Amino acid sequence: MRQRFSGYVLVLAAAVLWGSLGIAVRFTTAAGVGAFEASVWRAGLAFAGALVAASATHREHLAVRPRDLVLFAGYGFVSIALFFLAYFTAIERTTVATAAVLLYTAPAWVTGLSAVLFGEELSRAKLVSLGLAFGGCGLVVRAYDPSALRADLPGVLAGLASGLTYGLYSIFGKAALRRYPPLVVLVYALGFGTVFLVLLGTAAGVSPHRFLPSAVAAALVPLLYLGLVTTLLAQWLYVAGLRTVQASRASIVATVEPVVAGLLGYAVFRESLEPLQLVGAAAVVAGAVLAQARR
């Protein structure tokens, strides 16, 4: 019983750290660091930390099979590079709370994609969870106010994209974790993700000099927090919690993340949600809980 309780505490701590991510992003943005540069440093710092830790504890597993590099490359491109960029953009263009709620459409995306790609049955509970998730999103993004929706549309689309790419994180991760320890999986996913982020940024016209330490010096503290705390430490806490807590239950506990994000957004930046947006946020979280509880 005590071990299980400690597992829940670890998962809850991870969710709280993830919920604080948006605050750090806002500080990096205020320091003049863009989404590409911040994403590169977040992934790169987490990669460095994971590599050091894996070298000390799982050195024998760091040499992976060449054919598995394709899996890790896909993992890094979709669930690190695209996810980091989408979530950063959503936070920049909307609010911390809105971005966090849109991120939690991930279970709905996974449910829908699993039905289309793998032929999984869409039960009544799954359909209800889908309806709650996307109906709630409609309220969160103020679809009832067309002028507001048009103004926030790029951020809303980025938020939905973050939910999709985050949902695919579990699919890639499940395949990789069958063969390698979590730290080794993180090393390769974050390594590939960092490379892809640099390539995408360069292709988008970001000067290579923008990725140098001197260009992000003003945001060094929040970047260190993003890479080592909200990414590496939070992931380790979550995986450690999974040793004694079922994955479905852990996912439910982790839904406190948007609540933490909303509270911090209000406390630090005085961001708030309208009553209908709060109803929508509750619906999204309820949909996520239902999707996980029925697994």
Taking a C-beta distance cutoff of 8 angstroms, is the pair 255, 285 a contact?
yes
How far is the C-alpha of 103 from the C-alpha of 254, rounded, in Å? 12
Q: Is 80 exceeded by the pLDDT of residue 250?
A: no
* Choice among 28-37, 250-259, 277-286 with the minimum mean pLDDT: 250-259
Of 238 and 73, which is predicted with more confidence? 73
Residue 213 confidence class, pLDDT cut points 50, 70, 90 = very high
Secondary structure class of 273 (helix, strand, coil): coil
pLDDT the model gives residue 158: 95
Q: Is 70 exceeded by the pLDDT of residue 260?
A: yes
- Domain boundaries, position 111: 2-293
CB-based contacts of 275, cutoff 8 Å, min separation 6: none
Supply 92's token pair.
């920049």
Query: What is the value of pTM for the model shown?
Result: 0.86
How far is the C-alpha of 201 from the C-alpha of 207, rounded, in Å? 8
Residue 295 confidence class, pLDDT cut points 50, 70, 90 = low
Helical spans, DSSP H, in the chain? 2-19, 21-30, 35-57, 68-75, 83-93, 96-103, 106-118, 124-140, 146-177, 182-203, 220-224, 234-241, 247-253, 257-269, 275-293
The 10s digit of each residue's pLDDT in 138-171 is 888 888 887 776 668 899 999 999 999 988 877 7
How many domains does the structure of the chain reveal?
A: 1
Half-sphere exposure of 245 (CA within 13 A, CB side): 24
Cα four-point dihedral sign 226, 229, 234, 235? positive
